[in-house]
Structure 1
């Protein structure tokens, strides 16, 4: 069945019998230059733009095999039987980087783009989804191609319409799941592997507009290692093998101030029926919860601030005494963090201000004062102690002298000293004592004898 004649872009439609007659001189259907028309196939003349309605043929770049001109905008239309589609076999593609060759899957420039190319490219094929294809070539107006056989040679063939992609095979150790029974355009096939195996390649393939699959066939490979268990926040880890094969270990160590919850060491174990698996889940590092310090009572005749039932780690408590009392101990103590937390010092006490307290306070001041001040204070303390003793001694001495005069003793004779020895006394002389006989007592300086 021959397609009805068409007219587009102001060019007459031509049937399969007229193409050979329109070949440019030297470029007919029987030429054997690289990529040119094959024997028995009609060939679109090496001119800019045209249409062909044949089951097979060749489209050449303008002026092929001579260089094409610059600033050209050429459009070719190829049409086959309505129940067929077109295979485009691009044998030669040697165009400049500023030139563009575009294939449209339809009979005008608004159709879906099959492919767009610039610069040289190797041999490749394209398939349309319908019976028409539009080819557009635009050359760079600022660059001219001077080389021989610079351009393109495109063979096209009418092929049976096939609305489905080729059947995909099963893969060892896995299975496939198509999105619908018919492998038409847009169908998605998903590949999965049995336990203990993993997909190598793309697991999802899609049937494209040209009825080819979007990716190559994947495969299922035996899994011999565990997946990376990942990092744990607020920790560092020690890894025995970065590829995590069976037997590998990962140890987690929490940062200071954090406590590990869970297993610190994970081991990769092999499982015959499925993939290797870690011995446990990854742990967590939680902020350490320190126990608080117990409450403190205010000292007798004193106060503490703040007053709480429990004091968090790091808290400080201050103490003070009432007027007339002095603080003995630390004025501030701190709750030292730990498990459990504890106070840095025992609670102080309040004592009444007294002489002992004064002297103890003075002694403390003396210990802290400079050397010169310490010597002066020591002299003052010594004077305060010894001057009363001297006064008492003088008083006792005065009393003693008074009574010594009363008893007729020489004030110069000290107690405990022996008197001067007397001469030998007779009986008569013992009673020959005027003083005794008269009963009068005279002291030195008295005129009576």
Structure 2
């Protein structure tokens, strides 16, 4: 009796679908054979944790190699990305003033707290006048549209416009709408008494 051999086709084993990873998507791959590797990409708003490999491999026992947490939330600012917990400090260029907090921090929800400040052009402090004052003495910031009113010391008259405004002549630079007024008073002259002529 001759032994009967059955012919069988051997094909490499396959792994099931790769595991889902929080905040990441798999690069398209249809190879799920033993030895094949799947690579993950972090979704928008997340960044790869430094030192962590974004891959998993189909092992001989038809399971995927362990894959740790890959992605962490990030904050974006212009073209830069920042990790949760990072702090940023801002400074405005000369001729601009900052509105908001100078320092902010990236939070786990991907937002900056306090909110990112912004820089805006302002007028220089309005001119001071002799024997008078203006309402801008209570503030240091003079953004576009700010009105400053002048007043004179008691007994003096205001000559010129009572108010000036922070405005723009060219649509770019800010300046005051006109010159500051002046404070003037009546000059009181005492007539000279006639002195007796010496004889």
TM-score, normalised via structure 1 length: 0.17
Higher helix share: 1
Highest relative contact order (Cα 8 Å, sep 6+), 1 or 2?
2
TM-score, normalised via structure 2 length: 0.34
